[in-house]
Amino acid sequence: MDRGTVFVVGAGPAGLFAARKIASAGYQVVIFNRDVKPGGLAEYGIYPEKHHMKQGLRKQFTKILEMPNVTYFGNAPVRETGVLRVGDLRQWNPLALVFAVGAQGTKKLGMPGEDARGVYSAKDYVFYYNQLPPFASQDFSSGRRVAIVGMGNVMVDIARWLLVDMPGEKPEEVTVVARRGPFEVKFDEKEFDHIEMFLDRQVFQEELRRVDERIRACNQDISQVPEKIFPWLNKPATAPGNRRLSFRFLTSPVAIEPDANGRISKLKVVENNLVLEGDTTKAKATDKTTLLDFDTLIFAIGDVADPTVGIPYAKGGYVTNPDTVEPDRAAYEVFDAQAGKVLEGHYVVGWARKASEGLVGKARFDAEHGVDFVLKYLESAAKKLSATPEQIARELARHTDSLVAKQDVALLTLAEEAKARAANRPAFKFSTNQEMLAAIQKEKEGSRAIPKAAA
Ligand SMILES: Cc1cc2nc3c(=O)[nH]c(=O)nc-3n(C[C@H](O)[C@H](O)[C@H](O)COP(=O)(O)OP(=O)(O)OC[C@H]3O[C@@H](n4cnc5c(N)ncnc54)[C@H](O)[C@@H]3O)c2cc1C
């Protein structure tokens, strides 16, 4: 049954699970993905050592790509100013467009010195250590004293990388800088288990005493921190003494001072008070500032949507229908505020809709829920004759010779698995597009070279 074609932009968990649901309803699905490989942050964000989880997700993604009515174009970013624009997609006449491009924009605080060397966004940094091109080949050097701003699971992943798995010389001191206090940590206990052995218990207790009076203003009691938030405090640290993890609470960065080489050397911070607003605590800046010594600073404060994709964008996100009659459906519909109407047939799902919100399961739920509205729309939408995947491939091939099809992804997987086996490692990744494309080519030539009888 061919009911027409829907385009999905982005092949992270949201895009792939959306594609599966649309394809299962009998539509052709054509996916355009920026990266060579599918998977998005499941491939390039989730911690490298979580092999089991990554492998499980890859298997599910492979099955989705194997669906006969799903076409994949990797290495095909959709950008306002690129080879492939939203306008091009529309010319191919899809019944609907589902944007699942994740949150690829960087949240900037707009403070002086933000562009100094050694200052990174967590997204770029995790892309780097998960080997996503081009980040994998860029300078993400860290020094001896690293600050990570934020208290979520991404902070824990980055601290874990720096203290445990990073090859070469590791930092001596990783400091978590947080605008609120110990009761507002956002990470999961089982994630922190990977780094608790580095937590300097004595320094942590001193820090609790430093902020005691200010958090007491919100009826928080530091004596409950070990019991309620940091159970690890009840046992000694076991990590080698030359690497330690500490926290600096009620602290917000306000400026970065670079050294003579343009690398961060000091972070100016402001001390915060903690205030209660309704049920939630808020950080309120005082006028007291302090200079802290750091040679590396990583912002793990969440991301925003990428403004360059070419769909309506405002305040860090794609604009969705403000309609309050059916807010659930409206929240997935892309809205043209200038024209004052919905961009018909354009939808946004996953982290593209709500940046940095939740784990893979949540992105999947969001995508599948969004697709319910897409499918409903398609029931009454005008029928259209869309370009076929072959026509699209031919058109794209006029502009680029490095498109990646789903068969190519399978060949790349074979090449990377062979490399992993040869190196006796659980996984291997090529870290440039050139290497990936060359490996695909080599696999193609290899399979052509096998005599028919042996194949
Ligand atoms: C550091 C980190 C660690 C995490 N660890 C875990 C974990 O352990 N467990 C867990 O369940 N979840 C984890 N998550 C969360 C999980 O990765 C996300 O919930 C999920 O990946 C979001 O899916 P998404 O498809 O919306 O976005 P993404 O995964 O970001 O996928 C976006 C896709 O869109 C593509 N794209 C981007 N721009 C364009 C464009 N212009 N044109 C075409 N394609 C484009 C990208 O190539 C990518 O394939 C982690 C997230 C981070 C940041």
Do 176 and 37 share a domain, yes or no? no
Tell me if 432 is assigned to some domain: no
178, 162 Cβ separation under 8 angstroms: no
Specify the residue with its C-alpha closest to ligand 1, atom 52.
45
Task: Measure 129 CA to ligand 1 centroid, in angstroms.
Answer: 15
**Same-domain pairing of 151 and 284:** yes
| 231 assigned to some structural domain | yes
Same domain, 309 and 293: no
Residues 198 and 160 in one domain: yes
Residues near 423 by beta carbon (within 8 Å), at least 6 away in sequence: none
Residue 240: per-residue pLDDT: 73
Q: Are residues 323 and 292 in the same domain?
A: no
Q: Could you tell me which residues come within 8 angstroms of residue 446 by beta carbon, excluding any fewer than 6 positions away?
A: none
Task: Tell me which residue has its CA closest to atom 14 in ligand 1.
Answer: 359
Q: Is residue 440 part of a domain?
A: no
CA dist 28 → 8, 306, 374 (Å): 11, 27, 14
Tell me how many domains the chain contains: 2
Is 414 part of a structural domain of the chain?
no
Nearest one of 203, 197, 215 to 284, comparing CA atoms:
215
- The residue whose C-alpha atom lies closest to atom 12 belonging to ligand 1 is 359
Ligand 1 atom with least separation from CA of 303: 53
Residue at 292 is within a domain:
yes
pLDDT for the residue 236:
86
Distance, CA 184 to ligand 1 centroid (Å)?
A: 25
Which CATH number fits the domain that encloses residue 209?
3.50.50.60
Q: What is the pLDDT of residue 452?
A: 53
CATH number at residue 400: 3.40.50.720
CA of 365 to the centre of ligand 1 (A): 14
Cα(49) to centroid(ligand 1), Å: 17
Q: 198 and 291: one domain? A: yes
**Number of neighbouring beta carbons within 10 Å of residue 65:** 21
Pair 216, 322 in one domain: no
pLDDT of residue 455: 42
On whether both 249 and 127 belong to a single domain, the answer is yes
Is residue 233, in this structure, part of any structural domain at all?
Answer: yes
Shared domain check, 293 and 216? yes
**Residue ending a domain, choose from 271, 299, 327:** 299
Which residue, judged by its Cα, is nearest atom 6 of ligand 1?
Answer: 46
CA–centroid distance, 102 to ligand 1, in Å, is: 6
The answer to whether position 82 is within a domain reads yes
Q: Tell how far the Cα of 366 is from the centroid of ligand 1, in angstroms.
A: 13
Query: Do 288 and 314 fall into the same domain?
Result: no
Give pLDDT, residue 447: 74
For residues 99 and 218, membership in a common domain is answered with no
- 75 with 127, same domain: the answer is no
327 CB neighbour count, 10 Å cutoff: 11
Rounded to 10 degrees, what is the CA torsion of 320, 326, 328, 331? 0
Nearest atom, ligand 1, residue 351 CA: 26
Say if CB 12 and CB 41 are below 8 A apart. yes
pLDDT at residue 279, as a whole number: 87
Q: What amino acid is encoded at 443 in this protein?
A: E
Long-range CB contacts (within 8 A, 24+) of 444-450: 444/411, 447/411
Which residues approach ligand 1 with their CB closer than 6 A? Answer: 9-15, 32-35, 40-42, 45-47, 50, 77-79, 100-102, 104, 126, 154, 157, 306, 309, 350-352, 358-360, 363
Range of the domain at 381: 5-104+305-404
Q: Report the SS3 class of residue 112.
A: coil
Residue to mutate (ligand 1; options 348, 360, 436; most atoms within 8 A of CB): 360
Residue pLDDT tens, the chain, 455 long: 579 999 999 999 999 999 999 999 999 999 999 999 999 999 999 999 999 999 999 999 999 999 999 999 999 999 999 899 999 999 999 999 999 999 999 988 889 999 999 999 999 999 999 999 999 999 999 999 999 999 999 999 999 999 999 999 999 999 999 999 999 999 999 999 999 999 999 999 999 999 999 999 999 999 999 999 999 999 888 887 789 999 999 999 999 999 999 999 999 999 999 999 988 999 999 999 999 999 999 999 999 999 999 999 999 999 999 999 999 999 999 999 999 999 999 999 999 999 999 999 999 999 999 999 999 999 999 989 999 999 999 999 998 889 999 999 999 999 999 999 999 999 999 999 999 999 999 999 987 666 655 44
- Give the integer Cα–Cα distance in Å for 347 and 164: 41
Q: Which of 24, 25, 34, 32 is nearest to 7 (CA)?
A: 32
Domain boundary among 299, 324, 348: 299
Residue 239: per-residue pLDDT:
81
Determine the Cα angle at 114 with ends 113 and 119, to 5°. Answer: 115
CA of 84 from ligand 1 middle (Å) equals 21
The 10 Å CB-count burial string (b at 16+, else e) for 410-424 is ebbeebbeeeeeeee
Whether 410 is in a domain gets the answer no
Domain boundary pick from 265, 281, 299: 299
